[in-house]
Structure 1
Amino acid sequence: MEKCKLLTRLIKEAYPLDLLLLADPSETLVKKYVDRGQCYIVEQDGETIGVYVLLPTRPETVELVNIAVAEQHQAKGIGKALVLDAIQKAEQQGYKIMEVGTGNSSIGQLALYQKCGFRITGVDKDFFTIHYEEEIVENGIVCVDMIRLGRQL
């Protein structure tokens, strides 16, 4: 999918829970933030293949709390296009700062966010052991800490 052909749209209901759970395995947490945020999807041939959620957190600050691409569509540049789309939408809405958090074991996501201009701003130690019942393992690494990143818009 070419970057210029990526068209996202805001949805208010019938969220693609299966995709959202790819990025965050806690259905309880996903439902809480998706109801408070703005959920954008991208479709291809009538199928939802990508999603992200923008969540206002403070004046002039928005957090990208979930971004996911259907497994069969990964490694095609869609994730990066979605992050860039989220940045554009946040700028259009007047936000000045965008934040994102990801697991210490999410190596691909850490690289993606930094390629999109985000810088590490902090670490929420033990975030995933406190807020998630099930152990999360990615890339052979136990996900324990939340790595926080941010960028000016």
Structure 2
Amino acid sequence: MEVRELNQLEEAPMHLLLLADPSQSLNEEYLHKGHCYLGVEANDIVGVYILLAQSSTTIELVNLAVAQQFQNQGIGKQLINHAIQVAKNNGYQTIEVGTGNSSIGQLALYQKCGFSIYAVDRDFFVKHYDEPIFENSIHCRDIIRLKQTLG
């Protein structure tokens, strides 16, 4: 799989970004403020993520998504590792990521990739989203924040 930055002439794969975050307006904001990367296999976009600078030393990985037919094939891990490398290459000291309390698989994957939980934003999804989100039969209420120190 090739991972490359979205170029200015391309449209972002909103259908994939909406898998990671159901808010169209937040996705558009992330695209405007951040850098979008595509995982491409045989000319098909199979995954996506956005890196969003939080400060001169910290960058956040947001909206990581893999197309459903390509899930459980290691693509998410490849995209995370690519994001970590991009962050290192650009001189960031810390990379952060947040995911829902109901995102059991994602929580495991981020920890396998070297991230550690450092905070919980309680009731984030209840306060900021109009419709309740359910995943794995769990009400998604909180954001679990994870980070990794880059060295």
TM-score tier (shorter): over 0.9
Q: 1:9 aligns with which of 4, 18, 35?
A: 4
The aligned counterpart of 2:17 is 20
Opposite residue 5 of structure 2, the aligned amino acid is L
Q: Distance in 2 between matches of 1:79 and 1:59?
A: 26
Partner of 2:28: 31
CA–CA distance in 2 between the matches of 1:79 and 1:43? Answer: 12
**Structure 1 gap ranges (5+):** 1-5
1:68-147 equivalent positions in 2, closer than 5 A:
68-147=65-144
Following the alignment from structure 1 to structure 2, what is the Cα–Cα distance between the partners of residues 45 and 84? 20
* Inter-partner Cα distance in structure 1 for 2:149 and 2:56: 14
SS at match of 1:58: coil
Q: Distance in 1 between matches of 2:110 and 2:76?
A: 10
Contact 2:2 2:41 in 1 (8 A): no
Instruction: Find the residue that maps to 1:41 and give its secondary structure.
Output: strand
Q: C-alpha distance in 2, partners of 1:42/1:35? A: 19
Superposed displacement of residue 59, structure 1: 1.8
- Structure 2 length-normalised TM: 0.96
How far apart, CA to CA, are the structure 2 residues paired with 1:127 and 1:58?
22
Q: Aligned AA for 1:9?
A: R
Report the count of equivalent residues.
148
Unaligned stretches of 5+ in structure 2?
none
- Give the letter aligned to residue 4 of structure 2: R
1:53-103 C-alpha deviation (Å, 9 max, x unpaired) = 000001210000110000000000000110001000110011110000000
CA RMSD of aligned residues (A): 0.8
